[in-house]
Amino acid sequence: MRCGLLCKTNPIKPNLSNGMAGSCYIFGAFWRTLECVWMTLEFHLRTAGAPPCPFLLLPAQNIITILAMEKDMDITKVVRQHLQMENFFTGGFMVRSSKASSESHSNEDKQVEAELEKIAEEVSKCRKCGLGSSRTNSVPGEGNTNARIVFVGEGPGADEDAQGRPFVGRAGQLLDKIIAGMGLKRSDVFICNVLKCRPPDNRDPRPEEIISCMPYLQTQIELINPEIIVALGAHAARSLLNNNLPIGQLRGQFHEYYTGIGHPSIKLMATYHPAYLLRNYSDDNRKRVWEDMKKVLAELGLAVPKNQKHQNNLS
Ligand code: URA
């Protein structure tokens, strides 16, 4: 965990200290490795009975997608297992050293920024799914790399595709209002999506696209290490929570986003996607989103802004 100087770069992040972070990270990595080995074994046993071997990872994505689609499996569970296997064998993007806790925190912040830049660069060249060739710009995400809150949407729309920035269209303007209603600025939080490239005609993300793109989001979350993730809409919530429940059931309560055995989980609040809210702009829905955001503020120990106590400004 990056702690000591966090409040310098992010005024809403408190000054905590955690000298155990480095050793916890090594311990966590050990358990994570065991977990990945187990996932790999389980995956191979459940598919063709093939021996657990890294070379089998190349076709693994296709096998998983076909299994998920044809056997009506829980896609998010399958995605998670695949990602854990892939991260295990590829090492993911991030190498966080145990030295970090003894180095200056601003160095660590710089390291996080550099790693996030690397992801953005990787995303801009990504051709892991078909969206890589149909996009205008990739949209890796943006914001405070020290954020206490990460907002995660579904995928870029036309405006985001044109500008290469997340949530800049109509839904983005509403998200800005939600953030302002919480007494925060856009620059206080980090905003990104499950998919980093626009699905044509704003269609729903496909399983193979989520599988290809999730490692980017997982690594972004791991690097930023927020206290709360706000999942905007069903696709973001389901992809992060490993389930297929409707958003009406998921929103309004905290869930746990697991980053791996030995790592502390991160609290996740699901709420309606701003685009859904725009299409269904009722008092009830606005109140529901506002109630969700008040829970986020309370969890962070932040006061509800005075003028927001009796009304919401999502109108
Ligand atoms: N909808 C999303 O899910 N993400 C964006 O960035 C914009 C609209």
Cβ pair 142, 153 in contact under 8 A:
no
Domain membership of residue 31 (yes or no) is yes
259 pLDDT more than 80:
yes
CA of 17 to the centre of ligand 1 (A): 35
Domain membership of residue 46 (yes or no) is yes
Tell which one of 154, 174, 178 to mutate to probe ligand 1, the residue whose CB is within 8 A of the most ligand atoms: 154
Burial class (CB in 10 A: 0-12, 13-18, 19+), 238: buried
Tens of pLDDT along 113-169? 999 999 999 999 999 999 999 999 999 999 999 999 999 999 999 999 999 999 999
- Which residues line ligand 1 at a C-beta cut-off of 6 Å? 153-157, 160, 166-167, 169, 171-172, 193, 275
Atom number of ligand 1 nearest to Cα 236 = 3
Domain membership of residue 171 (yes or no) is yes
Domain membership of residue 38 (yes or no) is yes
Tens of pLDDT along 204-258? 999 999 999 999 999 999 999 999 999 999 999 999 998 999 999 999 999 999 9
CA of 153 to the centre of ligand 1 (A): 5
Domain membership of residue 308 (yes or no) is no
273 pLDDT more than 70:
yes
CA of 309 to the centre of ligand 1 (A): 28
The CATH code of the domain that includes 128 is: 3.40.470.10
178 pLDDT more than 50:
yes
Domain membership of residue 201 (yes or no) is yes
Number of domains, the chain: 1
CA of 139 to the centre of ligand 1 (A): 10
Reduce the DSSP state of residue 103 to 3 states and report it. Answer: coil
What does pTM read for this prediction? 0.73
What's the rounded mean pLDDT across residues 255-274?
94
Cβ pair 296, 258 in contact under 8 A:
no
Give the domain range for residue 286.
Answer: 6-302
> Residue 13's pLDDT is what?
53
Atom number of ligand 1 nearest to Cα 235 = 3
Domain membership of residue 1 (yes or no) is no
Residues forming a β-bridge with 267: 228, 256
Burial class (CB in 10 A: 0-12, 13-18, 19+), 69: middle
Tens of pLDDT along 61-102? 444 444 444 444 555 555 555 555 554 444 443 333 333 445
Average pLDDT of the chain is: 78
Domain membership of residue 193 (yes or no) is yes
CA of 101 to the centre of ligand 1 (A): 35
Reduce the DSSP state of residue 13 to 3 states and report it. Answer: coil
Tell which one of 273, 276, 277, 278 to mutate to probe ligand 1, the residue whose CB is within 8 A of the most ligand atoms: 273
